[in-house]
Amino acid sequence: MALWGHPDFRRLWTGDTISQFGATVGMTVIPLLAAGVLDATPFEMGLLAAASTMAFLVIGLPAGVWVDRMRRKPLMIAMDVVRAALMLSVPIAWWLGLLGLTQLIVVSLAVGVCTVFFDVAYQSYLPSLVGRGQLVEGNSKLQASLSVAEVSGPAIGGYAAQFLGAANSVLATGLGYLSSAFFLVRIKTVEPAPERHPDPHLRREIMEGLRFVFGNVTLRMIVACTGTSNFFHGIQNAVFILFLLQTVNLSEGTAGLVLSAGGVGGVLGAAFAYRIGLLVGQARMIWLIPVLTWPFTLTLPFISDGWGLVLPMACLAVTSFGIVVYNVGQVSYRQSICPDHLLGRMNASIRWVVWGATPLGALLGGVLGSWIGIVPTMWVSLVGSVAGMVWLLLSPLRSMRDLPATSSVEAHG
């Protein structure tokens, strides 16, 4: 693999791995802190889940314009440092006896704002760092980092919350963001200066990114699939912790172990995504693998303590395998067809829809959990998220095998 010998990619990859590890610990212990210590209701859990991704809906589009106007590496470093400070405020407030649900929601919202800028810059930075010909390999390795973190982070976070206290465990998240900033600082590749727009205008530049995304029928279908699945996954996020702790009566540590099961499949998905792309086609895998794997998630409501955990956890791993392969494929596809000067706006436009759908789903999940109950809400979320793959079956991806070789500013309707 060519990128093993790319020192700056290794620095990016190392920093990302540490950051993702800290983030997955944080995503586990903060809901555990809210549900297990602060006695949050289903509606309050929905608010907390929505806060972490609400920024994508509110500022996602202008963020893409701003990212395209500046160098991406310094922006990512600044966002890591700010996220670290925000997360470290949680254990400090806990030690002082001042921590409440309001602070958790505010911190989640502010970290979400930083994450919007970091993620848009991050996906826009990779093509200039490794070149378009190595995007699938680069995205596979970065997805591997996320998947390894998803394996270890929730389990460690769950047991850390159980034995050390959830608030103390948030320290890992803050330190992970600081470590990410350290490795980003050490990248030596000189980033090209951003192209200056001949007539800077926020609204016009936003519309340029939206036209590129929604003028391309394949991108439209990818956005529809991811957005639909994320909306219903947001519903699941609002009630899943409560389902594990209150309905199934698992301990915090065992709940973290269940959440880690998906990461096992994700690791395998990241490890084999590149080979799957070579075998079946880098474009074809975007729709084929979800069809074969996503329906396995429908076993989750059958989780029970003891041996009843085994089959649903295995199926969760299979589903996560498919999600990671899909993500490697679709992110590489959109990076490969987008010209450099539109990368930030393209990524922001897509994330505005697909991540903006998540907090809306989380808010609905909180309402549904209080109204129809936790288990029926789980069924709504799972069936809806699997149904998202229908968009892929209606897309031009069905007639494609591999990714385009060069970027193009043309929209294909």
Q: Give 31-77 pLDDT, tens digit per residue.
A: 888 887 787 888 888 888 788 778 877 887 787 777 777 788 889 89
Whether the predicted pLDDT of 413 surpasses 60: no
Q: Looking at the predicted structure, is the pLDDT value of residue 207 above 50?
A: yes
pLDDT for the residue 162 = 74
Count of C-beta atoms within a 10 Å radius of residue 379: 13
User: Could you report the per-residue pLDDT of 78-107, keeping only the tens digit for each?
Assistant: 999 999 999 999 989 988 988 888 999 999
Give the Cα separation of 225 and 394 in Å (integer): 10
**Cα–Cα nearest to 105, from 31, 23, 174, 166:** 31
H or E element in which residue 180 lies: helix 171-185
Q: 138, 126, 105, 121: which is closest to 70 by C-alpha?
A: 121
Taking the mean position of all CA atoms in its chain, how far away is CA 284? 22
Which has more pLDDT, 206 or 323?
323
Domain boundaries, the chain: 2-399
Q: Cα–Cα–Cα angle for 220, 222, 226, nearest 5°?
A: 120
Looking at residue 288, what is its pLDDT? 92
Contacts of 75 (CB under 8 A, 6+ apart): 67, 117, 118, 121
Q: How far apart are CA 245 and CA 31, in angstroms?
A: 11
Residue 150 confidence (pLDDT):
63
> Residue 86: its pLDDT value, please?
94
Domain 2-399's class? mainly alpha
pLDDT of residue 310: 84
Encode pLDDT of 135-145 as tens digits.
777 777 777 77
Res. 227: pLDDT tops 70: yes
CB neighbour list of residue 5: distance below 8 Å, 6 or more residues apart: none
Find the mean pLDDT for residues 170-185. Answer: 86
Tokens of 261: 């099961």
pLDDT in tens, 321-371: 999 899 888 888 887 888 877 777 787 788 888 878 888 898 899 899 889
Average per-residue pLDDT in the chain? 82
Over pLDDT 70: what percentage of the chain? 90
pLDDT band at residue 412 under the 50/70/90 scheme: very low
Indicate if the pLDDT at residue 410 is higher than 50. Answer: no
Burial class (CB in 10 A: 0-12, 13-18, 19+), 4: exposed
Mean pLDDT of 2-29: 77
The pLDDT assigned to 411 comes to: 40
AA letter at 413: G
Q: Could you tell me what percent of the chain has a pLDDT over 90?
A: 19
Whether the per-residue pLDDT at 273 is higher than 80: the answer is: yes
- What is the structure's pLDDT at 181? 92
Q: Is pLDDT at 111 greater than 50 in this prediction? A: yes
Q: Look at residue 406 in the predicted model and tell me its pLDDT.
A: 53
